[in-house]
Amino acid sequence: MVIILVGGQWGDEGKGKVIDYLASKAQMVIRTQGGNNAGHTVVTEHGEFKFQLMPSGILYPHCTCVIGNGVVVDPIVLLREISQLRERGIEPKKLFVSERAHMVMRYHPLFDQLEEESRGDDRLGTTWRGIGPAYSDKVRRIGFRIGDLQKEAFMRKKLAFVVGQVKNPVLTKLYGQDALDWESMLAEYMGYAKELDPFIKDTFPLIHDALDSGANILLEGAQATMLDLDFGTYPYVTSSNPTAGGALTGSGIPPTKVDLTIGVFKAYTSRVGYGPFPSELLDEIGDQIRERGHEFGTVTGRARRIGWFDAAVARYAVKVNGVGCAALMRLDILDDQPLVKICTGYNFRGKRFDYPLANISHYKHCEPAYESMAGWQQQIGTARCWDDLPQACRDYVERIGELIGAPIELIGTGPRRDQFVIRGRKLFD
């Protein structure tokens, strides 16, 4: 069985936790896009793990973990994650990186920062991890792929060209920075080549052998639908396609092999970085949720913006990704709210809109429409089945399911592995 898992809002929905739950019965987990702008948290009896490039199935020794061709890999970060795992007694024996995956090079985070600074008030609020510049170079066909690390002469020639003739003139003439020394970069990258060599592979046969043998395969999306380059709030998006289509091009799995797409949603909404956020709470309720939910970025530590659950956004995510089953995470964070609200759509120039608006300048003039429901004001962290949840809480979940057009089959009631309420079918059984 092949399952795609996508974020349904603006990221940090709890994808890592859902992958960890499903990976116990999967033979393979594949990261398909994004890079170390992602921060996926898994909490086990051994403590908390925050994965940036590492697929979230890595804690299961039976699970093959693949960093797919669609990911942009910063070798420095990957090596750091590997050594952090080793320090905690985990040897990533079944980790493979597609030789087709592009690299985030030393200069990409620098360009990310310089470009953001030059945008001034129009900056996007990127993670400064070099993601946009790395994907831009991939599209410009001046990117370096992980497999290039195994070809020193090729690296030498290409670094001389890309750094010497493309990057340095812009760095020095446009940004007034020092030129980069490509020869020392070559030595540096040859060092990474040696350390990463056991992990680099043509992952096409590996993935297709697994498909042919009927293995359970999970495609782990990073970021989310509203950060999608095409379907998100452009230009306030990331530079990849976190929607279901991106999972296919980012792994080489054909659409005909996919059995299910799971959409992961938070029981409210959060967003890091700038851009439209119609249901944003700029009041003390937003502050309360942020505090209770420790809503500070996994990657950058920035305070996340908080808002009510936006059913127009989630409905759109269900449609764009073909979500067959939804996970509603962090429901427990709303435990102490006397009243919970759901944004059901937007009113704009006298018309009702049930989906996000393509033209982001219209958000300034649109009015979100809300439905209010009674809160449950009870701790749900120990609930393990549907009937353990208070009635008002079940009503909230049911209403969200109705509004978004997908059944909510997984409910997060806390950060730990066991804090899950599962409804409906058993996936992977």
Separation CA 313–CA 10 (nearest Å): 9
β-strand pairing of 2-7 with 260-266: parallel
* Residue 125 contact among ligand IMO, Mg ion, ligand GDP, none, beta carbon within 5 to 8 Å by kind: ligand IMO
Considering the rule CB under 6 A, would residue 129 count as an interface residue with ligand IMO?
Answer: yes
Q: With binding defined as CB under 6 A, does residue 412 bind ligand GDP?
A: yes
CB of 394 to ligand IMO, least distance (A): 27
Provide the minimum distance between the beta carbon of 217 and ligand GDP in the complex, in angstroms, as a whole number: 19
Residue with Cβ nearer Mg ion (130 or 368): 130
Binding test (CB under 6 A) with ligand GDP, winner from 16, 70, 278, 286: 16
Task: Say which entry of ligand IMO, ligand GDP, Mg ion, none residue 70 contacts (CB below 5 to 8 A, set by partner kind).
Answer: none
Residues 10-29 that bind Mg ion (CB under 5 A): 12
**Which tokens hold the place of 278?**
């119609």
Nearest to 133 by CA among 170, 160, 78: 170
Is 62 annotated as catalytic?
Answer: no
CA end-to-end distance (rounded Å), the chain: 10
Report the partner that residue 412 touches, choosing among ligand GDP, Mg ion, ligand IMO, none (CB closer than 5 to 8 A by kind).
ligand GDP
- Given strand 64-67, what is the order of strands in its sheet? 200-201, 95-98, 64-67, 28-31, 217-220, 2-7, 260-266, 325-329, 408-412, 420-422
Q: Is 12 a known active-site residue? A: yes
Q: 401, 3, 6, 405: which is closest to 228 by C-alpha?
A: 6
Q: Which stretch binds ligand GDP (CB under 6 A): 183-191, 252-260, 316-324, 406-414?
A: 406-414
Among candidate residues 39, 41, 36, the one with its CA nearest the CA of residue 16:
41
With contacts defined by CB under 6 A, how many residues of the chain interact with ligand GDP?
Answer: 22
- Of the candidates 239, 337, 413, 419, which one interacts with ligand IMO according to CB under 6 A? 239
Residue from 22, 28, 32, 40 touching ligand GDP (CB under 6 A): that is 40
According to CB under 6 A, which one of 14, 130, 133, 273 is a site residue for ligand GDP? Answer: 14
Partner that binds at residue 344, options ligand GDP, ligand IMO, Mg ion, none, CB closer than 5 to 8 Å by kind? none
Out of 39, 232, 242, 276, name the contact with Mg ion by CB under 5 A: 39
Nearer CB in complex with Mg ion: 108/330: 330
Closer by beta carbon to ligand GDP, 210 or else 320: 320
Nearest to 269 by CA among 2, 7, 4, 1: 7
Q: Is residue 288 near Mg ion by the rule CB under 5 A? A: no
Residue type, 46: H
Rounded Cα gap, residues 352 and 345, in angstroms: 7
Query: What is the 8-class DSSP label of residue 79?
Result: H
How many residues in the shown chain lie near ligand IMO by CB under 6 A? 23
Taking a C-beta distance cutoff of 8 angstroms, is the pair 240, 295 a contact?
no
Identify residue 429 by its one-letter amino acid code. Answer: D
What is the SS3 assignment for 198?
Answer: helix
Which two structure tokens, joined as six digits, stand for 357? Answer: 């608006």
Residues labelled catalytic: 12, 40
The residue ranges that bind ligand GDP (CB under 6 A) are 7, 11-17, 39-41, 43, 298, 329-330, 332-333, 412-415, 419
The residue ranges that bind Mg ion (CB under 5 A) are 12, 39, 298
